[in-house]
C-alpha cells in the first residue's frame, strides 16, 4: 500500500517480464515477429525500417534485445470481476443483479468490473450493453 489517504494515487506494479519464463517467451515472440515482418511477402505492407528496437540488435547479444524489450513493454488490459455481479455475496459477488452495491445505499457500479466471468473478447461492447441495461433499470426505478 502506498498511502492510507484515499485521494492518493495507488502504486501499481505489474511485474511485467520479471519472471524468467515470461521474458524468454516474449523474446521468442519478438524474434519471430521481426523475422515475419522482414519476409518479402510483407515488405509491401510494412513501409520503412524497423523503428524499435532496430536492426542494430540483430547480431547483438540477447542482453541488448532484452533491454530494448523491457524499456518498451506495456500492457493493454481490461480488468473484470473486481466488483463481481451475482446472487451470492459469499461467492464474492458484491453487486446484485440491478448493479446495486450490496450494503451501500444509492450506489451502482456499471463497468467491466461487475462482469462475473472474463469475456473472450474486448470488453468495450459488453460494457456498453451493461450501461444501457442499467440505465433502463434506473429509468424504471424512477417511474
Give the torsion sign (CA, 65, 66, 72, 78).
Answer: positive
Known catalytic residue: 39? Answer: no
Q: What is the pLDDT of residues 90-109, one digit of tens each?
A: 988 999 999 999 999 999 99
Domain map (residue ranges) of the chain = 20-72, 89-142
Q: What is the pLDDT of residues 35-66, one digit of tens each?
A: 888 888 888 888 777 777 777 666 555 777 88
Q: Tell me how far apart the alpha carbons of residues 117 and 80 are, in angstroms, rounded to a whole number.
A: 8
Residues with Cβ within 8 Å of 64's Cβ and at least 6 positions away in sequence, in order, are 53, 56, 57
Q: Tell me how far apart the alpha carbons of residues 3 and 21 are, in angstroms, rounded to a whole number.
A: 32
Amino acid at each position: 500500500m502506498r498511502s492510507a489517504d484515499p485521494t492518493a494515487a495507488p502504486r501499481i506494479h505489474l511485474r511485467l517480464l520479471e519472471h524468467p519464463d515470461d521474458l524468454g517467451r516474449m523474446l521468442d515472440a519478438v524474434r519471430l515477429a521481426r523475422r515475419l515482418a522482414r519476409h518479402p511477402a510483407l515488405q509491401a505492407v510494412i513501409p520503412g525500417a524497423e523503428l524499435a528496437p532496430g536492426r542494430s540488435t540483430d547480431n547483438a547479444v540477447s542482453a541488448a534485445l532484452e533491454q530494448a524489450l523491457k524499456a518498451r513493454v506495456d500492457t493493454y488490459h481490461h480488468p473484470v470481476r473486481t466488483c463481481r455481479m451475482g446472487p451470492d455475496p459469499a461467492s464474492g459477488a458484491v453487486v446484485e443483479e440491478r448493479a446495486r452495491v450490496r450494503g451501500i445505499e444509492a450506489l451502482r457500479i456499471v463497468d467491466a468490473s461487475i462482469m462475473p466471468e472474463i469475456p473472450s473478447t474486448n470488453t468495450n461492447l459488453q460494457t456498453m450493453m451493461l450501461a444501457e441495461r442499467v440505465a433502463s433499470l434506473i429509468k424504471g426505478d424512477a417511474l
